[in-house]
A and B are shown apart, each in its own frame.
Chain A
Amino acid sequence: MTTAEATPTKTVLSEPGVLVPGPGYDVPGMDVRYRDAFNQTLRDELNHDPDVFIMGEDISGGFDRDTLEPLDAWGGPFAATKGLVQDFGPERIRDAPISEAGFVGAAVGAALTGLRPVVDLMYFDFVTVAYDQLLSNAAKSRYMFGGQTKVPLTLFARSGGGTGHAAQHSESFYSMLAHIPGLKVVVPSDPYTVRGLLAAAIRDDDPVFLVNDKKLINMTGFCPEESFTIPLGKGRYLRHGSDITLVGMSYTSVVCKQAADQLAEEGIDAEVVDMLSLSPFDEDIIVESVMKTNRVVIVDEDTPRASMASEFAAVIADKAFDYLDAPVKRVTGPHTPVPYNKGLETAFMPQPEDVVGTVKTMLGV
């Protein structure tokens, strides 16, 4: 993939007629791993703007005590920052101690004074350790100071169950972030969308949280060669269909697509909407799809109460009530922590079969 020089901010998503970019899509590209697309985007943005720097635990993998050379022992959590410290140095790939509140606060201070920090919070669960800095400083500074300042801060972390990380390393509480005025939240679902959304997040002048579901990180998919951005707040269709709408976000978009493929085998034509952004979010695409299919299932790995699934359901009830032929259904995690045991953990997460079962019940087949 190319780096820096050109970095055109082309909106690939709005190309007419494009549902899912992939082989056949007329830009140069190739199949890449999600983690590599992520790493390449960080590299692009570090090249693009000297004010961009990355901060987080283990991102440059420790230091040799004698030479003080960074070791890049792990390539960062989930190899997100692999190789970056060699090319950009430890000032721009800044290893932080285990002080999430402290270094997120410092990142807000750096953003307020002119830099564009990118923070790796490792596991999504660690958001709560830094929540005050996110809520009270990152998200509110612009408003409470009357628009004097902006906070061009990007944060990312890994969410989701399915990897045996248990209760404190598997959260998907998107709504705890989307609830905050002043903060934006994006949830890419494949290598293509993480590339475009991460670039857009880093270039955005507001604080943006990008959530990486752990189940996506080793997945492979098409990604254009050249750097591009995807507009924040826009969803996309992963599949067009006429019988029912499946709404996914992050990894549940993959679940929805798998469910739609299974349903197709049984003659049920499902439309799949991939939200991509949770704050702001694309009300139009949900309403448009529901007005066409008249039925909707929202699939969210988060726990059910006060979740994004609940929010989308409320929007549909408000704006597409007259078009509904069935109650809005949600497929979510249970109101429990994420269990360790593989069987229990699998039961926690929405599976394609759960979505298929819900759809069939709704359609009475």
Chain B
Amino acid sequence: MRISREKLHWLYEVMYRIRRFEETMLEQTFRGNAMGVTHPSDGQEAVPTGICAHLTEKDWIGSTHRGHGHCIAKGLDTKAMMAEIMGRYTGQCKGKGGSMHIADFSKGMLGANAIVGASVPLAVGAALTAKYRGNEDESIGVAFFGDGATSQGVVHESMNLAAIWKLPVIFACENNQYAEATPAWYAVSTDDISARADSYGIPGVQVDGMDVFAVYEAAGQAVERARAGDGPTLLELKTYRYHGHFHADDPKKYRKSDEEEEYAERDCLQHFEKVVTEQKAMTAEQLKQIRDEIEQEMQDAVDFALNSPMPPMEELYSDVYVEYSNSLVGLR
């Protein structure tokens, strides 16, 4: 596999941006600056990064409650994301969506979605639009979802629809092995989720989701297949979240420490650094420069968010409908 230097730079920059965004976001959450619940995705950075490396703004992704990584990999602005999480008017959703509903339609991001599995048919619908318009070569759908969502009926319905209609869509199952506190070994009937693709007559590939090169390669094939009009692919990306289900969750209550240590040793950033420096594709100085720039970006994002205005009270009533003739004001 050959990856251009520009793309290598992009992969590292995006993974590190996600890592530091989640750490910074958590720090701000614990300081009381986030206005609600947040679900960190650090540990899983290689998955959205390796997949979105093949996408453009014309491609659409559906996301989950643990969506910050997907947003960043799809090119969303981290200042506006931090502002959204802090409930500010300058956020992508004017502070009305929050961490679990960050969206940017100008970037092909259909929104983080807090109903497990519910965004999967949205990505199928985006792929249907592409097929309807005959531009599937330049606009595909990617549905990100977790191992928990594989137990949702609508996810299976979506895979069947995409398979029978041969839609340009990728089902990206981020198997971080825990649905909230419930382990996949208990809740999922197989230890090979990718094998379920067989039952829909589509390719299924199990991928080391801690290795961005492996994700990049598998996603490349799936994207190529979708753009060629050959239909959907199910990717199962085995990964691990470093933090709990949500910001205040202590995963040590349901995960063994040796398991956590094993994944820490396979950290996607450390793996990347080791490979590119050993192969002399990037220097330690180049990597450090990227990290330093991201550090500054995070500081700027926090400053921007903290200095941003709150949404005006009229925002309570705006954006419910394009047009509606009854009052939306609550009865008092």
Contact across chains for B319 and A142 when beta carbons are under 8 A apart: yes
User: Complex Cα distance A99/B105, Å?
Assistant: 27
Pick the most buried of B127, B128, B158, B328: most chain A CB atoms within 10 A of its CB.
B128
Contact across chains for B125 and A105 when beta carbons are under 8 A apart: yes
Check: A14 CB closer than 8 A to any chain B CB: no
Contact across chains for A109 and B101 when beta carbons are under 8 A apart: no
Check: A49 CB closer than 8 A to any chain B CB: no
Contact across chains for B161 and A102 when beta carbons are under 8 A apart: yes
Which residues of A come within 8 Å of B, CB atoms?
Answer: 53, 91, 96-97, 99, 101-115, 132-133, 136-137, 141-150, 181-182, 184, 204-206, 232-234, 279-281, 283
User: Complex Cα distance A146/B83, Å?
Assistant: 13
Known: A114-B129, A144-B96. A105 touches B158 (CB 8 A): yes
Contact across chains for B322 and A206 when beta carbons are under 8 A apart: yes
CB distance from B22 to the nearest CB of A (A): 21
Given pairs A143-B319, A283-B326, 11 additional interface contacts (CB within 8 A): A91-B132, A102-B121, A102-B158, A103-B121, A105-B118, A109-B123, A109-B129, A112-B125, A144-B93, A144-B103, A145-B101
Binds A, one of B28-36, B108-116, B238-246, B272-280: B108-116
Per-residue contact bits, chain B 152-168, to A (CB 8 Å; 1 contact, 0 not): 01100110110010000
Contact across chains for A142 and B121 when beta carbons are under 8 A apart: no
The A-contacting residues of B in range 73-107, CB under 8 angstroms, are 91-97, 101, 103-106
B318: which of A104, A105, A147, A233 is its contact (CB, 8 Å)?
A147
Contact across chains for A105 and B326 when beta carbons are under 8 A apart: no
Contact across chains for B60 and A182 when beta carbons are under 8 A apart: no
Contact across chains for B91 and A146 when beta carbons are under 8 A apart: yes
Known: A109-B123, A115-B129, A148-B105. A205 touches B322 (CB 8 A): yes
Count of inter-chain pairs, beta carbons less than 8 A? 159
CB distance from B157 to the nearest CB of A (A): 3
User: Complex Cα distance A308/B203, Å?
Assistant: 49
User: Complex Cα distance A320/B73, Å?
Assistant: 56
Residues of chain B contacted by A91 (CB below 8 angstroms) = 132
Contact across chains for B128 and A112 when beta carbons are under 8 A apart: no
Residues of chain B contacted by A136 (CB below 8 angstroms) = 113, 115, 118
CB distance from B310 to the nearest CB of A (A): 14
B322: which of A112, A113, A142, A144 is its contact (CB, 8 Å)?
A142
The A-contacting residues of B in range 250-309, CB under 8 angstroms, are none
Contact across chains for B160 and A102 when beta carbons are under 8 A apart: yes
User: Complex Cα distance A107/B165, Å?
Assistant: 14
A101: which of B110, B113, B121, B126 is its contact (CB, 8 Å)?
B121
Residue of B nearest to A231 (CB): B325
The 10 closest A-B pairs by CB, nearest first: A109-B125, A105-B121, A102-B157, A146-B93, A147-B319, A109-B122, A99-B157, A146-B94, A280-B326, A233-B325
